[in-house]
């Protein structure tokens, strides 16, 4: 246990140094707050003891500096014997406990032992919280493929970072990953706030407090919101930030949809979640798990499972989960066959050897407004792409940001 003593009285400093050493602690002692600031960063004390007869502004500055570097750092006030009002005032202003001058070695030993025991208890509690979070992450983000295990390892590695960029297609469970980046960080017991597509960013930043703010679709938000995000990234204090992008950030920068400075700031802290089509046997594993959640008795026959694993899953895990639930509802017996699966996937039995789907037609009549034609075209394309906004953007040769804006404008939530 490291103790920094700040006391202008040299005799008192020496007495306190001996008491701390006798109790098994390491100690440094200085006569002023100015000297103490250097030792805060070099010595990294667990406890700072300051004399109440230091100037009030020095005590205030020292206390703020001590807690800024280490929020759980303990502060003790050192007051003349019998001056209870000084001790009470110090504790009202942030001190955790107090000592009388001249110092009692027994009191010092007792307080140091209390600090040790409380710190050990906090460490045990934190270790238990992290163990539980790891187990919950494995349940909420299941998978055994190499690509997926790499992503899960990255969550553990990146959790200590203050800011992380999560990339991946729609349906790759980015928000769940963000929640576990938060849970596995030192902020994990604090608040997790959300700003969907950057809306209400400033208010959400305040709600997050000392926890984590999750911001979706930073490649879709306005330049003004991106400026606020960059300011939050550059701030020395504030909540942790987990940001998501639906497209390759480098490509988004090239197309002018994302500020280069944001990508540069986060380039060492990127978590990429692979699409389901690149996760091999995880399709079958997840399909069986989702079916167990949907039904106590149902199972897929081999041909049905082949149909599931052959699908390219443009909507990723979200699409697979919904497809399995629909198959369980449509099945007429305990075994789900290929007819049901292909029906759910939009591939009838007759199309067994082909993935081609009939392209819908948008009919235009003289007198139709351009806005109405655009709305129907986007709606039909969304349906054809099974709600996958990235695929819709590619088919219409529009930016993903434009598609999101048009969906919002026309109320085409899919």
Tens of pLDDT, residues 250-297: 988 988 889 999 999 999 999 999 999 999 999 999 999 999 999 989
Q: What is the pLDDT of residues 367-414, one digit of tens each?
A: 778 888 888 898 888 888 877 888 888 888 888 888 888 888 888 864
Q: What is the pLDDT of residues 145-174, one digit of tens each?
A: 999 999 999 999 999 999 999 999 989 999
Report how far apart, in Å, the C-alpha atoms of 110 and of each of 12, 24, 47, 208 are: 19, 12, 14, 37
Confidence at residue 63, expressed as pLDDT on a 0 to 100 scale: 93
This prediction's pTM: 0.72
Strand duo 2-6 + 192-195: pairing: unpaired
| Pick from 123, 122, 102, 120: nearest CA to 112 | 120
Looking up tokens 């091999």 gives 280
DSSP letter, residue 360: P
The values of phi and psi at residue 367, to 5°, are 105, -20
Confidence at residue 304, expressed as pLDDT on a 0 to 100 scale: 94
Task: Look up residue 165 and give its two tokens.
Answer: 């960029």
The values of phi and psi at residue 118, to 5°, are -65, -40
Q: Is the peptide bond before 102 cis (omega within 30 degrees of 0)?
A: yes
Q: What is the pLDDT of residues 88-134, one digit of tens each?
A: 999 999 999 999 999 999 999 999 999 999 999 999 999 999 999 99
CB distance 182 to 188 below 8 Å: yes
CB distance 180 to 154 below 8 Å: no
Identify the band that residue 352 occupies on the pLDDT scale cut at 50, 70 and 90: very low
> Distance (Å, rounded) from C-alpha 161 to C-alpha 184?
10
CB distance 177 to 156 below 8 Å: no
Q: What is the mean pLDDT of residues 349-378?
A: 66
Confidence at residue 382, expressed as pLDDT on a 0 to 100 scale: 85
Confidence at residue 413, expressed as pLDDT on a 0 to 100 scale: 65
CB 391: neighbour CB atoms within 10 A?
19
| Pick from 390, 380, 385, 384: nearest CA to 412 | 380
Please state which of the ranges 6-15, 62-71, 164-173 shows the lowest mean pLDDT: 62-71
Task: Look up residue 314 and give its two tokens.
Answer: 């443009």
């Amino acid at each position: 246990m490291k103790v920094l003593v700040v006391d202008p009285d040299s005799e008192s400093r020496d007495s306190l140094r001996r008491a701390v050493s006798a109790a098994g602690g390491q100690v440094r002692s200085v006569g002023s707050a100015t000297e103490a600031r250097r030792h805060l960063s070099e010595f990294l004390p667990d406890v700072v003891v300051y004399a109440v007869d230091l100037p009030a502004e020095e005590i205030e500055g020292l206390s703020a500096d001590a807690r800024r570097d280490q929020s759980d750092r303990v502060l003790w006030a050192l007051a003349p014997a019998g001056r209870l009002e000084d001790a009470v005032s110090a504790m009202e202003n942030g001190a955790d406990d107090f000592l009388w001058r001249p110092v009692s070695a027994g009191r010092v030993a007792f307080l140091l032992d209390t600090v040790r025991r409380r710190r050990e208890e906090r460490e045990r509690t934190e270790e238990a919280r992290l163990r539980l979070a790891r187990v919950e992450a494995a349940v909420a983000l299941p998978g055994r493929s190499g690509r997926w295990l790499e992503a899960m390892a990255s969550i553990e590695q990146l959790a200590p970072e203050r800011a992380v960029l999560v990339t991946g297609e729609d349906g790759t469970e980015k928000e769940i990953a963000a929640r576990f980046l938060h849970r596995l960080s030192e902020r994990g017991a604090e608040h997790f706030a959300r700003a969907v597509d950057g809306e209400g960013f400033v208010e959400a930043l305040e709600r997050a407090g000392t926890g984590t703010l999750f911001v979706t679709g930073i490649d879709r938000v306005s330049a003004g919101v991106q400026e606020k995000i960059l300011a939050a990234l550059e701030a020395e204090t504030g909540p942790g930030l987990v940001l998501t992008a639906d497209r390759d950030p480098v490509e988004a920068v090239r197309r002018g949809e994302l500020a280069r400075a944001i990508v540069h700031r986060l380039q060492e802290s990127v978590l990429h979640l692979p699409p389901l089509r690149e996760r091999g046997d995880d399709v079958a594993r997840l399909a069986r798990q989702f079916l167990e959640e949907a039904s106590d008795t149902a199972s897929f026959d081999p041909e049905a499972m082949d149909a599931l694993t052959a699908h390219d899953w443009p909507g990723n895990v979200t699409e697979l989960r919904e497809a399995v639930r629909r198959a369980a509802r449509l099945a007429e017996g305990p075994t789900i066959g290929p007819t049901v699966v292909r029906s759910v996937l939009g591939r009838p039995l007759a199309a067994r050897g082909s993935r081609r789907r009939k392209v819908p037609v948008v009919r235009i009549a003289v007198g139709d407004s351009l806005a109405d034609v655009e709305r129907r075209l986007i709606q039909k394309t969304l349906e054809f792409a099974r709600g996958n906004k990235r695929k819709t953007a590619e088919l219409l040769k529009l930016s993903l940001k434009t598609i999101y804006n048009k969906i919002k404008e026309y109320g085409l939530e899919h």
